[in-house]
């Protein structure tokens, strides 16, 4: 799977990964491993000149470069990648301290070592991690500008999105503005608010499972790490530290948060539609109601059911039935992007708990959803499958189980009066 730069042409807006590996059989295995892990098409080149030409022709397309350390032209390409600020993953069976020192000045996101037989799998895993880092926001908090700049440089090389703050007060402001931040790296000795106080404030609103904190300090107090952990930090690093150690700690904490999120999703979401399940709905509905009442919102409960779903399964099979459920679930979810809990209650039935302003036209809101679903079709072997839904909607204030019962009764009334309609009370 060796290509010339012309055969690596990338469609506009599509990211790619450049691999410098002249050994054709090995390059095929390496490329397949990376493709399997990332779903990003790799471009394999056999020379630094070919790689440079591809990068020149596609300046916005290259995600990452993967370079073999034992390739003669590797140093030349690494210099080019550093100049172009393209993160690189270098791999090889081994290298000496002098090589490590030289590589430390270049745009190296990671170095993967191992026997030839295991390198493709390891490189694929690291590439996947680096690519996914583009969706991870990190906040660096330190009153030392030089330390902040060093941390930002290290982390952006690793493809993380990095925000900065000069002390704890500044950090809380950044966290409030950017709620997507997943990890905070904070010094302790800072003016206005030190690291310990910052962590205590963070833990008032964010658990260790939602937002990780790594404490750092240049002091040699052996109890400092214990104090950080006791105050709510997930991890600790002593200054000075090698960037490889920083990468290990950061990656470990981000991957831990990812695993926790995956476990939550498996527990709280329907595996087919990715909507919330009944368990999540009933565990969180009381908090949702409390929030809606605090904001003086009108609380709505709706039951939605796909019409004649059994006939779809009987005619086209359960595979098409599953496609229909997924399509309808996506349309319901898109109709309520916020201020709602959208759940699959089972089979072809869905429940929506939503909050609305007093002047909202509730019937119109749900009727638009009904008409959107009716106008959507699924192609099956040249045949177009069109589905409709019946919807029962109640705004009568009552405990959630009673609201669901009322919405169910209205749903039944919609079915009885002809289906493909909204019944509201």
Residues 301 and 420 grouped into a single domain: yes
Mark whether 38 and 100 lie in a shared domain.
yes
Reading the block at residue 366, the tokens are: 């749900």
| Residues 45 and 157 occupy one common structural domain | no
Span 269-297, mean pLDDT?
Answer: 94
The whole-number pLDDT of residue 221 equals: 73
Q: What's 87-140 look like in SS3?
A: CEEEEECCCCHHHHHHHCCCCEEEEEECCCCCHHHHHHHHHHHHHHHHHCEEEE
Region of poorest pLDDT, from 19-23, 92-96, 283-287, 296-300: 92-96
Residues 309 and 350 in one domain: yes
Gap between the Cα atoms of 369 and 350, Å rounded: 13
- The CATH number of residue 149's host domain is 3.40.50.2300
Q: Are residues 314 and 287 in the same domain?
A: yes
Residue 145 host element (H or E): helix 145-157
CA distance 161 to 139: 9
The verdict on 307 and 342 lying in the same domain is yes
- The DSSP output letter for 417 is T
Q: Stretch 118-142: mean pLDDT, rounded?
A: 93
* pLDDT-based confidence at residue 406 (cuts at 50, 70, 90): very high
Query: Is the Cβ–Cβ distance between 393 and 300 less than 8 Å?
Result: yes
Q: Which domain holds residue 45?
A: 6-130
302 shares a domain with 248: no
Q: What is the mean pLDDT of residues 103-131?
A: 87
pLDDT of residue 99: 66
- Mean pLDDT value across residues 162-170: 96
Q: What is the C-alpha to C-alpha distance for residues 231 and 229, in angstroms, rounded to an integer?
A: 5
Q: Exposure of 423 by Cβ count < 10 A (0-12 exposed, 13-18 middle, 19+ buried)?
A: buried
Quickly state the pLDDT bin for 382 (edges 50, 70, 90). Answer: confident
pLDDT of residue 208: 95
Give the length of the chain.
Answer: 425
Which of 228, 340, 221 is CA-nearest to residue 285?
340
> What pLDDT is recorded for position 62?
75
Which residue is it, tokens 């892990």? 37
Range with lowest mean pLDDT among 138-147, 159-168, 376-385: 376-385
Give the pLDDT confidence score for residue 12 in this predicted structure: 39
- pLDDT at 415 (0 to 100): 95
Rounded mean pLDDT, 70-89? 82
For residue 273, tell me if it sits in a domain. Answer: no
Residue 137 · residue 182 · CB < 8 Å: yes
Helices (H), 270-317: 278-294, 309-316
Specify whether 328 is located in the same domain as 378: yes
Given 111, 130, 149, the domain boundary residue is 130
Sorting pLDDT into bands at 50, 70 and 90, what band is 83?
Answer: confident
Q: Is the pLDDT higher at 64 or at 236?
A: 236
Q: Can you tell me the distance from the alpha carbon of 184 to that of 246, in angstroms, rounded to the nearest whole number?
A: 13
Confirm whether pTM is higher than 0.85.
Answer: no
Span 305-320, average pLDDT: 92
pLDDT of residue 102: 67
pLDDT band for position 13 (cuts 50, 70, 90): very low
3-class SS at 207?
Answer: coil
The pLDDT mean for the chain works out to 89
146 pLDDT above the threshold of 80: yes
The closest alpha carbon to 129, from 197, 181, 192, 64, belongs to 64
Q: Confirm whether 205 is domain-assigned.
A: yes
**Considering the chain, what percentage of its residues have pLDDT values greater than 90?**
63
**305 within 8 A of 249, measured Cβ to Cβ:** no
Give CA–CA dist 234/184, Å, rounded. Answer: 10
Count CB-CB contacts under 10 A for residue 259.
10
End-to-end Cα distance, the chain = 64
One domain, residues 351 and 334: yes
Radius of gyration of the chain (CA): 27
Is the residue at 398 inside a domain? yes
CA-based nearest residue to 265, from 192, 181, 209: 209
CA atoms within 13 A on the CB side of 368: 7
Domain boundary among 130, 160, 190: 130
Opening angle at CA 242, ends 238 and 248, nearest 5? 85
- The pLDDT of residue 10 is above 70: no
Task: Dig out the tokens for 179 from the structure.
Answer: 């709620």
Of 130, 165, 187, which residue is a domain's last?
A: 130
186 DSSP assignment = E
* pLDDT value of position 2: 33
- Per the CB < 8 A criterion, the answer to whether 225 and 264 are in contact is no
The percent of residues above 70 in pLDDT, for the chain, comes to 93
- Residue range 188-213, pLDDT digits in tens: 999 999 999 999 999 999 999 999 99
The confidence score (pLDDT) of residue 198 equals: 96
- Residue 108 has a pLDDT of 82
Cβ atoms < 10 Å from Cβ of 218: 13
Per-residue burial over 84-100, b if 16 or more Cβ lie within 10 Å, else e, is eebbbbbbbeeeeeebe
Q: Is the pLDDT of residue 402 over 70?
A: yes
Q: Where residue 3 falls among pLDDT bands split at 50, 70, 90?
A: very low
**DSSP annotation of 54:** H
Q: Tell me the pLDDT band of 255, cut-offs 50, 70 and 90.
A: very high
Residue 54 within a domain: yes
pLDDT band (50, 70, 90) for residue 256: very high
Lowest mean pLDDT, pick from 14-18, 97-101, 285-289: 97-101
Same domain, residue pair 173 and 283 = no
CA 124, CA 32: separation in Å to the nearest integer? 9
Inside any domain, residue 1: no
Picking from 7-16, 293-302, 393-402, 404-413, which range would have the lowest pLDDT averaged per residue? 7-16
Q: Is residue 296 situated within a structural domain? A: yes
In a domain, 50, yes or no: yes
Rounded Cα gap, residues 4 and 327, in angstroms: 41
Query: Do residue 236 and residue 299 come from a single domain?
Result: no
Q: Do 205 and 256 share a domain, yes or no? A: yes
CATH number of the CATH domain containing 362 = 3.30.70.270
Contact criterion met (CB below 8 Å) for 81 and 110: no
Q: What is the pLDDT of residue 104?
A: 65
pLDDT bucket at 243, cuts 50 / 70 / 90: confident
CB 365 within 8 A of CB 394: no
Domain count of the fold of the chain: 3
> Would residue 94 count as lying in a domain?
yes
What's the mean pLDDT in 65-87?
A: 83
């Amino acid at each position: 799977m060796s290509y010339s730069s012309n055969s690596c042409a990338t469609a506009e807006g599509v990211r790619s990964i450049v691999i410098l590996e002249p050994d054709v059989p090995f390059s095929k295995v390496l490329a397949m491993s990376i493709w399997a892990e990332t779903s990003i098409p790799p471009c394999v080149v056999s020379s630094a000149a070919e790689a440079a030409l591809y990068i020149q022709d596609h300046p916005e397309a290259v995600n990452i470069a993967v370079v073999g350390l034992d390739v003669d032209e590797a140093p030349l390409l690494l210099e080019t990648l550093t100049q172009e600020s393209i993160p690189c993953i270098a791999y090889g069976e081994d290298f000496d301290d002098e090589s490590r020192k030289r590589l430390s000045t270049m745009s190296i996101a990671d170095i993967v070592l191992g026997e030839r037989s295991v390198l493709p799998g390891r490189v694929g895993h690291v590439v996947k991690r680096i690519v996914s880092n583009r969706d991870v926001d990190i906040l660096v908090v330190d009153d030392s500008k030089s330390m902040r700049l060093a941390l930002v440089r290290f982390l952006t090389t690793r493809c993380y999105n990095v925000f900065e703050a000069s002390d704890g007060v500044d950090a809380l402001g950044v966290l409030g503005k950017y709620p997507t931040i997943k990890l905070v790296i904070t010094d302790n000795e800072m003016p206005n608010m030190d690291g310990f106080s910052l962590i205590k404030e963070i833990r008032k609103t964010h658990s260790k499972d939602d937002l990780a904190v790594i404490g750092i300090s240049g002091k040699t107090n052996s109890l400092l790490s214990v104090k950080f952990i006791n105050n709510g930090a997930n991890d600790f690093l002593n200054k000075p530290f090698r960037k490889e150690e920083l990468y290990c700690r950061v990656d470990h904490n981000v991957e831990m948060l990812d695993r926790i999120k995956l476990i939550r999703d498996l527990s709280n979401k329907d595996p087919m539609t990715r909507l919330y399940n009944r368990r999540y709905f009933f565990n969180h509905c009381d908090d949702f109601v409390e929030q809606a009442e605090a904001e003086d919102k009108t609380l709505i409960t709706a039951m939605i059911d796909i019409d004649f779903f059994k006939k779809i399964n009987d005619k086209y099979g359960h595979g098409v039935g599953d496609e229909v459920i997924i399509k309808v679930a996506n349309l319901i979810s898109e109709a309520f992007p916020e201020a709602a809990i959208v759940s699959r209650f089972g089979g072809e039935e869905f429940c929506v708990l939503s909050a609305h302003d007093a002047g909202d036209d509730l019937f119109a809101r749900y009727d638009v959803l009904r008409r959107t679903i009716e106008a959507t079709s699924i192609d099956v072997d040249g045949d177009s499958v069109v589905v409709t839904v019946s919807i029962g909607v109640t705004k009568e204030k009552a405990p959630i189980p009673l609201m669901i019962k009322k919405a169910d009764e209205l749903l039944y009334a919609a079915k009885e009066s002809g289906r493909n309609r909204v019944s509201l009370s």
